[in-house]
């Protein structure tokens, strides 16, 4: 069966010291909580090794926000999947809309990143989602389908089964404007159908599909109550232990 997951995406926020404190606070809160989901925090590269040392990995998973599309070598400033894995991280966000939009990450580049993440036993949290214009012109199903096909559909069924998907409508990210729970459910059900057509119903049923975009304690419960919404990828609300925990406990 698929897992429920709440993952934080800290983006380019917190100094190392602030990040360690935030990780400690989340870890502390989880000690006394009985969450009905897996919890992961995805943190800046610079924080990974230190955060790994202060959290209990039995209750809190650790991920990066990106990795390189090459194995190793002369790629100044890049961080490889093997480097990420060597810190103790188990997850990596790939294909976030901010990476696609601001850093020109294409379906082809993301395919390489996914392959390298899997080769290093990292679980990719693969992001997909349409921009406002595509929501308004009605092309959003086609856009999301193409993003999945373009980077993931050369995977074997076994490898596809290791992917976590995150539907993040770009118009809902950091805007305070969430997709309604019905809009999220409609897209998540569509995505599961796309996976079923390619890999069969069992693989589709076992794939965790998270929602991301202005998810907060006040709307998380309604989103997570939808049958095809298996959790959330949380930006702003993951930057404080209290609001992050408010989402974790929404399950
Ligand atoms: P917000 O929760 O800040 O809208 O960000 C969502 C997101 O991009 C998570 O990856």
**Does the CA dihedral 127-132-138-139 come out positive or negative?**
negative
Half-sphere exposure of 94 (CA within 13 A, CB side): 33
CB of 178 closer than 6 angstroms to any ligand 1 atom: no
What phi, psi does 24 have (nearest 5°)? -65, -40
Please give the C-alpha separations between residue 68 and each of 54, 72, 76, 183, 229, in angstroms, as whole numbers: 26, 9, 11, 33, 29
Which residues of the chain carry a pLDDT beneath 70? none
Determine the pLDDT at residue 1: 84
Determine the pLDDT at residue 157: 98
Which residue owns the Cα nearest ligand 1 atom 7?
Answer: 235
Determine the pLDDT at residue 177: 82
CB of 220 closer than 6 angstroms to any ligand 1 atom: no
pLDDT in tens, 142-161: 999 999 999 999 999 999 99
What phi, psi does 93 have (nearest 5°)? -75, 130
Which residue owns the Cα nearest ligand 1 atom 1?
Answer: 235
Cα–Cα distance for residue pair 205/194, rounded to 1 Å: 11
Determine the pLDDT at residue 49: 98
- DSSP H helical ranges for the chain: 16-32, 48-54, 81-86, 97-102, 107-119, 132-136, 140-152, 157-160, 181-199, 201-206, 217-224, 241-248
CB of 234 closer than 6 angstroms to any ligand 1 atom: yes
CB of 9 closer than 6 angstroms to any ligand 1 atom: yes
Q: Model's pTM, two decimal places?
A: 0.98
Cα–Cα distance for residue pair 45/64, rounded to 1 Å: 6
Determine the pLDDT at residue 174: 85
Determine the pLDDT at residue 239: 98
b/e 194-216 (16+ beta carbons within 10 angstroms → b): bbeebbeeebbeebbbbbbbbbb
Pocket test for ligand 1, best of 5, 166, 212 (most atoms within 8 A of CB): 212
Rg (CA), the chain: 17
CB of 231 closer than 6 angstroms to any ligand 1 atom: no
Ligand 1 atom closest to the CA of 215, numbered from 1 = 2
Cα–Cα distance for residue pair 100/10, rounded to 1 Å: 17
Please give the C-alpha separations between residue 67 and each of 49, 59, 153, in angstroms, as whole numbers: 15, 24, 20
The catalytic residues are: 96, 168
Cα–Cα distance for residue pair 56/35, rounded to 1 Å: 15
Question: How far, in Å, is the centroid of ligand 1 from the Cα of 211?
Answer: 9
Residue labelled with tokens 């850093």: 103
Ligand 1 atom closest to the CA of 98, numbered from 1 = 8
């Amino acid at each position: 069966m698929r897992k429920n997951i709440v993952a934080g995406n800290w983006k380019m926020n917190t100094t190392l010291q602030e990040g360690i404190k935030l990780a400690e606070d989340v870890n502390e809160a989880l000690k006394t909580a009985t969450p009905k989901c897996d919890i992961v925090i995805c943190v800046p590269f610079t924080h990974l090794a230190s955060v790994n040392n202060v959290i209990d990995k039995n209750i809190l998973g650790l991920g990066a926000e990106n990795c390189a599309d090459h194995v190793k070598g002369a790629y100044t400033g890049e961080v490889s999947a093997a480097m990420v894995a060597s810190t103790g991280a188990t997850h990596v966000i790939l294909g976030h809309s901010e990476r696609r939009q601001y850093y020109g990450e294409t379906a082809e580049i993301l395919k390489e990143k996914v392959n390298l993440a899997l080769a290093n036993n990292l679980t990719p949290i693969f992001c997909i989602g349409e921009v406002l214009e595509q929501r308004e012109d009605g092309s959003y199903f086609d856009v999301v389908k193409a993003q999945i096909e373009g980077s993931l559909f050369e995977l074997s069924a076994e490898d596809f089964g290791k992917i976590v998907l995150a539907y993040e409508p770009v118009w809902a990210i950091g805007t305070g404007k969430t997709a309604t729970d019905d809009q999220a459910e409609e897209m998540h059900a569509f995505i599961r159908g796309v996976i079923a057509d390619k890999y069969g119903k069992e693989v589709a049923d076992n794939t965790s599909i998270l929602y991301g975009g202005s998810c907060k304690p006040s709307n998380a419960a309604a989103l997570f109550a939808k049958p095809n919404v298996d959790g959330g990828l949380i930006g702003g609300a993951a930057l404080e232990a209290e609001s992050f925990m408010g989402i974790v406990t929404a399950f």
